[in-house]
Amino acid sequence: MTFWRELGFGSNPYVVKPLPSNADGRELLVGRSAELRALLRRIEEGDTHVVLEGPNGVGKTSLVSVAAWVAGERFRKKETTHLYLPLPEVLQIKEDASEFISDCYFAIARAFLENEETLKRADRKVPRTRDVKSWLEAPVLRGRGLNISSPFGGGGITGGTAANSSTGFSNAGFRATIRSWLRDAFPEGTGGLIGVIDNLELLETSAAARRLLEEIRDPILQLSGMRWVLCGARGIARSVAATPRLNGVLSDPIEITPVADEFIPQLIETRLQHYSVKDTSKAPVSTSSFEHVYVITHKNLRDSLRHAQSFSQDNEAAFFLVKSESEIDLAFTTWLEGQAISHEASVKMQPRTWKLLEDLADFGGTCSPSDFDQFNFNDRAHMRKNVVELERYGLVNSSKDDDDQRRRSIEITSKGWLVHYAHSQGLGMPPIPGM
C-alpha cells in the first residue's frame, strides 16, 4: 500500500500546485470570499484586464483558477447569459515578446478545440476548427523566424517560412483565424476566454515588464473576446499597471494579502477531508502544527504545505499510526527547527547583514530600495551591498537596477524566513551550561 493510503488518504493532501479550475478547486479554496467576489466583478463587468498583486505563495494563481471556473458555472446554472471559459493552461511570462505572443495564440486555439461541445451547447458560433487542428498537429510547425513551441507536442522549431502546405496556413493566417473565432464566439458583452498571465516578477525589472506588456498590448491585451488576469509579486504588477500606455488597458491592482490566520484551521481541515478516503484517516500534521508552520513561513501557503509534505514523507506511515498527536506535534516542531538550523549553518554573514535580515523581517519582510534610512543606512548603495549579500545566500530576492525606487522589490525568501526563525530564536546556539 502506498504511504498516503496507509494513512487513509487517496493521495497527497499537501499538494503545492495551484488549485484546479473545477469543483474540487472551489471546494478547497478557503478564506477568499471577498477576493473572489472582487475578481469576478472585474472579470464580468469591467472592461479593463485585471491585475492581482501579492506576495509569493499566497494563492494568486489558485484564486484566478477558481474564479474562472465559478464564472463558467454561473452560465451552466443559467444564472447569466455571459459565457466564460478558462484557457487550458496558465501562461508564464517570458522576456521574448514574440515567443510569448505565440504561447498565447496556441493556448487560445486549444481552448476552442477543447470547448467545441460547450460552445455548441451555448449556441455560440462554433468555428471550423479542422484546418487549424491539422496545422497545429503537423509534426513540423514553421513560424516566420519565430521560435514556436507547439502545445500539441510539435516541439520547439526555429526559423523557416513554409507553413504547413496542406492547409495553406501561415503564422499570420493562423492568428487572423483565431481573432475571428474570438469575435464570432464572444460578441461584445457576452463573455470570453479567461487567460492568466502569471509571475510578472520573473521579468526582474519594472522596465522589462513594462516593455513586454507594451509590446503585447495590441496583439494580446486588445484581443476582443479575451479577459486577461495578470499576476505579480514584489510590486511589479502595481508598477506596470500605473504606466500611461497601460492604465486604460489594465485595472488598478487587487491586493492579495495572505489568507487570514482565522481561516487556517478550516483551510487545512477542508483539504484533509477532501483527500481522505477513510473515516479513520490520520493527518501527519495537526491543525495546530499547521498554524505553527504558517507563522514561521510568514503566511506563505505554498511553503507551509511543502514543509508539511516533506515532514510527512521523511517518516514512515507506521510512525503516524502508532504515535500520539502530541508526540507527532513535537516531532514536527523538532523537524522544522532542524531544517531551520541546517539552513542557518550554511550562512556566514557580517553582523550588519544579519541585522538587516532581522530588521527586514520586523518591517514585514519586504521593502523598497528607497527605504534605506528605515534600516539605518546612510545611503542606498550601502543598503544595496548588504542586500546583495543576503541574496547571495538566497535569503532575499530583489530586482536589479530597478528604475522604480519606491517599488517593494526586496523580499525575504522561504529560506530567508527559516533562517530568520533559527537566528531570532537562537536555535543553532549551543545550550547555555546550567540551563
Chain residues in the site for ligand ATP (CB under 6 A): 16-19, 28-32, 54, 56-62, 199, 233, 259, 267, 301-302, 305
Residue 267 near which of Mg ion, ligand ATP, none (CB within 5-8 Å, type-dependent)? ligand ATP
Pairing of strands 191-198, 226-232: parallel
Nearest-5° Cα angle at 207, 203 to 212: 60
Per partner kind, with CB cut-offs from 5 to 8 A, the member of Mg ion, ligand ATP, none near residue 57 is ligand ATP
User: Which residue number, 60 or 124, has a Cβ lying nearer to ligand ATP?
Assistant: 60
With CB under 5 to 8 Å by kind, the binding choice for 58 among ligand ATP, Mg ion, none is ligand ATP
Out of Mg ion, ligand ATP, none, what residue 87 binds, judged by CB under 5 to 8 A for its kind, is: none
- Polymer length in residues for the chain: 435
- Distances in Å between the alpha carbon of 137 and those of 114, 117, 176, 406? 14, 20, 18, 47
Per rule CB under 5 A, count of chain residues that contact Mg ion = 1
Q: How far is the CB of 56 from Mg ion (least distance, A)?
A: 8
Q: Closer to ligand ATP by CB, 28 or 146: give it.
A: 28
- Report the residue number, 234 or 420, with the smaller CB distance to ligand ATP: 234
Least distance between ligand ATP and beta carbon 196 (Å) = 9
**Amino acid at position 395, single letter:** L
CB atoms within 10 A of CB 280: 8
- Distance from C-alpha of 54 to C-alpha of 58, rounded to nearest angstrom: 7
Q: Which of 6, 32, 21 is nearest to 270 (CA)?
A: 32
- Name the minimum Å distance from CB 35 to Mg ion: 14
For 388, the grid coordinates are 546583495
Partner interacting with residue 30 (select from ligand ATP, Mg ion, none; CB below 5-8 Å by kind)? ligand ATP
State the minimum distance, in angstroms, from the CB of residue 241 to Mg ion: 17
Q: Are 205 and 239 in contact (CB under 8 A)?
A: no
Q: How many CA atoms lie within 13 A of 173 on its CB side?
A: 15
Question: Minimum CB separation from ligand ATP for residue 25, in Å?
Answer: 8
Q: What is the DSSP letter of 140?
A: S
DSSP label of 432: P
Rank residues 198 and 404 by Cβ distance to ligand ATP and give the closer one: 198
Spatial neighbors of 353 by CB under 8 A, at least 6 apart, are 386, 389, 390
Strands in 284-391 per DSSP E: 366-367
End-to-end CA distance of the chain: 46
Of the candidates 331, 271, 297, 318, which has an alpha carbon nearest to the alpha carbon of residue 412?
Answer: 297
Residue number with CB closer to ligand ATP (61 or 413): 61
Nearer to ligand ATP, 148 or 200 (CB): 200
| CB closer to ligand ATP out of 12 and 190 | 12
- Closer residue to ligand ATP, CB minimum distance, 225 or 365: 365
Cell of 216: 503585447
Shortest CB 59 distance to Mg ion, Å: 8
Integer angstrom CA distances of residue 366 from 66, 210, 246, 380, 410: 28, 22, 26, 15, 5
Q: Compute the least distance from the CB of residue 60 to Mg ion, in Å.
A: 5
Three-class secondary structure of residue 254 per DSSP: strand
Q: In sequence order, what DSSP letters do the residues of 354-373 get, joined into one string?
A: HHHHHHHHHTTSEE-GGGGG
Residue nearest to ligand ATP (CB): 59
Q: Give the CB-nearest residue to Mg ion.
A: 61
Minimum Å gap between C-beta 128 and ligand ATP is 36
Least distance (Å) between residue 58 CB and Mg ion = 9
Nearer to ligand ATP, 185 or 200 (CB): 200
Q: Segment 27-86, which members bind Mg ion (CB under 5 A)? A: 61
Q: Would you tell me which residues interact with Mg ion (CB under 5 A)?
A: 61
